[in-house]
A and B are shown apart, each in its own frame.
Chain A
Amino acid sequence: MSTPLTIDRVYQCLATVMDPEIPVLSVVDLGMITGVELAGSAAVTVKMIPTYAACPALQFIQRNIQVSLERELQVPVLVQVDAATHWHSNRLTAAARQKLEAFALAPPPVSGKVSAEILLHTPCPHCGSKDTYMRSPFGATLCRATHFCKNCGQLFEQFKPLE
């Protein structure tokens, strides 16, 4: 017996589509999904947003969502970029923050605000110390900043806040 097609079922499938740059987070964890509709020209329409406007992985992620959902649900799927909503770091789910910590990538502060204060005291994901400073607001990908921990002497990366 096939499982009925519901919005919940689509979200369950989306929760298995991982981000190519941070493979422990799904597109749902990241808050990239802004809507799911079960009507229209395709059986399922997913609306999504990139984290950064210049994200080079956007088309790759769109394609991943479409292929995964079509394979799981066996219906045509359309994935659209939603221009009306913009991504900010408070769209990350609580589960995403825990997964980032386990991945040794410091999560952004819950305030989500970008000010000079974010340069200092980001908790180190290796030792937990707050005796840290930002070495650069840029990192290996557009969504990361580079910090240094004075306590354990290691560089670490942060998924940086975005307003």
Chain B
Amino acid sequence: MQTLSPALRQLIIAMGDDALILGHRNSEWTGLGPVMEEDIAFSSMAQDKIGHAWALYRVLHEHGGPDPDAFAFLRLAEKYTCCHLVEQPIGEYDFSLMRHFLFDHAEALRYEALADSSFVPLQQLARKIKGELKYHTLHANAWIIQLAQAGEEGKARMQAALEETLPLALGIFEPLAQEAELIASGVYCGEAALQQRWWESLQPILAKAGLALPATGDLEPAYGGRSGWHTQYLAPLLDEMGAVFRLDPEATW
């Protein structure tokens, strides 16, 4: 069994933790969505994200890492490397939708890049997941455009949500300590290149929605998550998420 380089482990864990934590947050809309279709949409996206996290943790497991369930549920908060964006509470629907829009565009581009990765397990996974994420971005785009065009209040709320969420979203692209090695070996293009592609991909949709994108230079990215430094919101989320698992970690389901 081939073991993974620390740089590769770092990338896979960051991706898996983002998907797991946002998946959990999305699931908090189950039963509470503003309309039934949205309740179903956020629940479905939660299921997809948690499934993607599980697939990534399995890649670790297949290369000598821990059991995927134990890895998902039993780590201390500082061992998670998710970005601050995904930790935030669901808030109002405008925030949750904006987070979904900004995160899923980034994730779709990340898997698009990984579909040509030199690391075969990620390449295979990316080819599958990138198709599934088309429905996430389709859903996000439709709602961002509709709500921003739904009158004065809608537009003002979506613009405010965009400005509040952008600095957090820039944290998705916090550079990984050893990413130069991953770029050199053709695993992927690196965070800065992804951020550039993401920024370009947002423009046409926000233009259609009539929302103004602030200049990135004026924003302070929410960094720290990739090195295990988190907001006050992660620890309570982990407590709740792992409560049932910790009752009996050896149980089979």
Residues of A near any B CB (own CB < 8 A): 52-56, 83-84, 86-88, 114, 116, 119, 135-140, 142, 145-146, 160, 162-163
Tell me, in angstroms, the Cα distance from A145 to B138 when the chains sit together.
12
Binary interface profile of B, 44-61, with partner A (CB < 8 Å = 1, else 0)? 110111111011000000
Tell me, in angstroms, the Cα distance from A35 to B134 when the chains sit together.
28
B51 pairs with A138, CB closer than 8 A: no
Which residues on the A side are within 8 Å of B52 (C-beta)? 53-54
The reply to whether the CB of B237 lies closer than 8 angstroms to some CB of chain A is: no
Beyond A53-B51, A53-B125, A55-B51, 12 additional contacts (C-beta under 8 Å) are: A53-B55, A53-B132, A54-B48, A54-B49, A54-B54, A56-B47, A84-B124, A114-B134, A137-B41, A137-B138, A138-B40, A138-B43
B48 pairs with A137, CB closer than 8 A: no
Tell me, in angstroms, the Cα distance from A56 to B48 when the chains sit together.
10
B121 pairs with A137, CB closer than 8 A: no
**A54-B47 in contact given A136-B37, A136-B139 (Cβ < 8 Å):** yes
B138 pairs with A136, CB closer than 8 A: no
**A136-B47 in contact given A53-B129, A87-B128 (Cβ < 8 Å):** no
- How many A-B residue pairs have C-beta atoms within 8 angstroms? Tell me: 70
- Which one, B38, B40, B128, contacts A86 given CB within 8 A? B128
The reply to whether the CB of B93 lies closer than 8 angstroms to some CB of chain A is: no
Binary interface profile of B, 119-139, with partner A (CB < 8 Å = 1, else 0)? 001001101111110110011
Which residues on the B side are within 8 Å of A136 (C-beta)? 37-38, 40-41, 139
In the complex, residue of chain B having the shortest beta-carbon distance to the beta carbon of A135: B37
Tell me, in angstroms, the Cα distance from A83 to B124 when the chains sit together.
7
| Shortest distance between the CB of A150 and any CB in chain B (Å) | 16
**A138-B41 in contact given A52-B132, A53-B132, A114-B134 (Cβ < 8 Å):** yes
Tell me, in angstroms, the Cα distance from A21 to B129 when the chains sit together.
21
A160 pairs with B135, CB closer than 8 A: yes
A142 pairs with B44, CB closer than 8 A: yes
- Which one, A52, A87, A146, contacts B51 given CB within 8 A? A52
A138 pairs with B131, CB closer than 8 A: no
B131 pairs with A142, CB closer than 8 A: no
| Shortest distance between the CB of A88 and any CB in chain B (Å) | 7
A162 pairs with B131, CB closer than 8 A: yes
Most chain A beta-carbon contacts within 10 A, residue among B49, B124, B132: B132
Which residues on the B side are within 8 Å of A83 (C-beta)? 121, 124-125
A138 pairs with B128, CB closer than 8 A: no
| Shortest distance between the CB of A115 and any CB in chain B (Å) | 9
